[in-house]
Structure formats: C-alpha cells, structure tokens
Amino acid sequence: MTDKEKLKAHLRTIPDYPIKGIVFFDVTTLFKDAECLKILVDDLYEHYKDKGITKVVGVESRGYIAGAALALRLGAGFIMARKPGKLPAEKLSESYQKEYGKDSIEIHADAITNDDVVLIHDDLLATGGTVSATYRLVNRFHPKAIYMSFNIDLTDVPKIDIYPKDAETYSILSLTEHDA
C-alpha cells in the first residue's frame, strides 16, 4: 500500500455534516494514527524544505496539527490564524463567506514581517473561502512570498472567484466527493 493509499484508507467521511448535502472529510482519523501523521508531515516537509519558509500559518483548528509539526521540521515559527475573539493582543482581521455561513479570521498584528516567507496550511481545500481570507490577511503583512498547502484538495468543489490563483498551492491528496 502506498502512503497516499494508506491516508485514504484512514480518512473518515461523514455525509450531511455540518449540513445536509455536505460530505465532511474528517482528518482527525489521520492525526490519531502515528504513521499517517508522519506521512503527512514528511510529505509536506519534502515539498517545502528548500523554499526558505520562515513562518507557517496554521488555519484554525485542524491546520494547527500538521502546520505546527511542519514548522518545527522546517525550523520556522508557527502562527495561529484564529476565529474572532481568541487572540489576546492587537490583531488584524479578515471576513469571508464559507460554504455554509459567514466568518472571519484573525492573526496577531506582530506575527509576520516583510522579511518572512510564509506557508499557510489548512487541513482541507473545498471552495477556498477560509484560505482566501487567510491569504488576504497574510498578504497585508507584505511578506517576501506566500505558499499554501493542504492535506486534502476536494477537486470537484468549485473554488470561489477570489481564490488566489497566483499563489503556489500544494495538496497531499486530491479527492472528490465520490471518494467518500
């Protein structure tokens, strides 16, 4: 069994969650298996080890798991992109429309400098609403470069019009809802 087949075999899918018509890909089953977690972090590390990443931004909350482990492996700092009201110091905020509601994301105002090379990591790319807002937020810091990575890209879900097409994006697994 290949690494990607192992990840797919350990991925849990839940129909009609959080609302009817959505197939939820639950990555927590990948995190609880030590070998799967190692595969995720090793794969991301191999892809990004020569990019000069200085900060990894993990998107709340499942982006924190592999994002923090990857930051450690890369020798980079780790930044949490959080839901409103969770960060105690001065912060910047960006609002966005999700597949099933409106939300916003925040980062501490002193988290990133214009000398940083930033990797934004989240567990799953669906329409791209959350990561697009995170990208816009990180871009306000004017870093040298911004990359985006995901454990899973749902390729049959249309990306929103404002998805940052110019950003280099990498996903470990490319799946469709039919893979559920």
Question: So which residues are the catalytic ones?
Answer: 62, 99
Residue 90 exposed, middle or buried by CB count within 10 Å (0-12, 13-18, 19+): exposed
Q: Which helix (H) or strand (E) holds 131?
A: helix 129-139
Cα separation, 107 vs 87, whole angstroms: 8
Position 98, amino acid = K
Q: Are 7 and 172 within 8 A, CB to CB?
A: yes
Residue 89 exposed, middle or buried by CB count within 10 Å (0-12, 13-18, 19+): exposed
Q: Taking CA 112 as the corner, what is the angle to CA 146 and CA 46, rounded to the nearest 5 degrees?
A: 45
